[in-house]
Amino acid sequence: MAVIAVVGGQWGDEGKGKIIDLLAEKAKIVVRFSGGDNAGHTVINPYGEFRLHLVPSGIFYPQVTCIIGNGVAINPAVLLEEIDDLQSHGVGISRLFISDRAHLIMPYHILLDRLEEERRSKGALGTTLRGIGPVFADKVARVGIRTGDLLDRDIFLSRLKSALELKNIILTKVYQAPLLRLEEIYQQYCHYGERLMPFIRETSSIIREAATRGETVLLEGAQGALLDPDFGTYPYVTSSSPLAGASCIGAGLGPRGIDRVLGIFKAYNTRVGAGPMPTELKTKIGNLIREKAREYGATTGRPRRCGWFDAVAGRFSVQINGLSDIALTHLDIYDGFPSVKICTAYRFKGEALTSFPSDAVVLEKCQPVYEELEGWQESISGIRNFRKLPAQAHKYLSRLEDLLSCPISLVSTGPDRRQIIERNPKSEV
């Protein structure tokens, strides 16, 4: 019984959906605390295969209350589509709540995201074009519109009117784009508001009360540490913090309320979008990982850049999140590899770097220094007992634990809910 933050340790797409779906079996509440529909959390379970962008991955259990927290930016069209899809698969959504403080993604946010990416041209960040940068910019600029505003049409109209006035000046004068019409957006969002009204409420009190009662609360992160606006590969980052620290703010808890911070890492690295990635493999091995693991974006369908596990970045992620333990996913992808490599340091201007640089320009020039370990030839995807893993896999995991200074408590060996090894250190040799 505890409050557990579950966060991405790399550049996103680590398998957070699967791990949340697994842990939610014993939870009372699952809260998404940051990001927006740039996230794509894949869950495969008896209901089918889902790519959740906004609804927390605990929605498949009838006893779990799911909350889209105040730290999330919500595109109501995407959320309603997701709700409809879940319902059509027989998944109940009566325990879903949306924070009245969550910001709304408006049509101009999506438009401005695209126009800005086009303007950057070769320097584009490779965003998901979901309006994420613009909506979080408006939040801190204090000109955002929140889900709670939809509950009162007069308030909503006046906020939309004043926001749109400025956006239309920017759209037409800066980008030479057509004007957006107030009436159209107003009507459309009033319609969304009507449908979402039953879900919208103050949510932080539900979370705090459950935590006080000692119930298990999962705080579901989106994206990954290396996309954090402060600690990630700035400016090639997202616009809300995916770190464990942000789970407090995005849900409405104090830092003392978090009992465990579980970091999700893939057994290798991937990145989608632009920005430095020292271990990227533009070789047959990179392609092999991509094809074997179907490494294509759940949100945009873009091929993900693939490479060996980067332990320099990984260690940094453990530190800035304050991880208690790690869930390592996709280990089965390495089945049959003659050898596997881990990046243990970077070479920069002839010197070895063992800490993660703050400057993306420096990171771009870093050459990975690898340690090579023997691979395993058998399939590990049916294994449920840690001791039954091949000796080479044990060595790989224990080397990662050494390099990251953090224990691996869960190992995922396939996409299905049952393909997991829950490690019990007492039963190990």
Pairing of strands 325-329, 339-348: unpaired
Give the one entry of ligand IMO, Mg ion, none that residue 329 binds, where binding means its C-beta sits below a cut-off of 5 to 8 angstroms depending on kind: none
Over the window 69 to 88, marking each residue x when it contacts Mg ion by CB under 5 A and - when it does not, the resulting string is --------------------
Say whether the peptide bond before residue 235 is cis (omega within 30 degrees of 0): yes
Q: Residue with structure tokens 């039953």?
A: 198
Return the structure tokens found at 340.
Answer: 């596997």
| Nearest C-alpha neighbor of 110 from the set 188, 210, 4 | 188
Candidates 200-208, 220-228, 285-293, 367-375; binding stretch for ligand IMO (CB under 6 A):
220-228
Instruction: Pick between residue 40 and residue 107 the one whose CB is nearest to Mg ion.
Output: 40
Window 35-64: residues binding Mg ion (CB under 5 A): 40
Could you say which of 44, 126, 204, 259 contacts ligand IMO (CB under 6 A)? 126
The least CB distance from residue 166 to Mg ion, in Å, is: 31
The residue to which tokens 């779990």 are assigned:
64
Can residue 415 be called a binding residue for Mg ion (CB under 5 A)?
no
252: contact with Mg ion by CB under 5 A: no
Convert residues 129-158 into a mask of x (bound to ligand IMO by CB under 6 A) and - (unbound).
Answer: -x-xx-------------------------
Contact status: 227 vs ligand IMO (CB under 6 A): yes
Length of the chain: 429
Q: Are 59 and 237 in contact (CB under 8 A)?
A: no
Catalytic positions are 13, 41
Report CA 250 to chain centroid distance, whole Å: 14
Q: Which stretch binds ligand IMO (CB under 6 A): 170-178, 205-213, 222-230, 345-353?
A: 222-230
105 contacts: CB under 8 Å, gap ≥ 6: 36, 37, 73, 74, 75, 76, 130, 131, 132, 135
Backbone dihedral region for residue 99 (phi beyond 0: left; psi -120 to 50: alpha; all else: beta): beta
Q: Is 44 in the site for ligand IMO (CB under 6 A)?
A: no
The option from ligand IMO, Mg ion, none interacting with 206 (CB < 5 to 8 A, set by class) reads none
Contact positions vs ligand IMO (CB under 6 A): 8, 11-13, 35, 38-41, 125-128, 130, 132-133, 222-224, 227, 238-239, 272-273
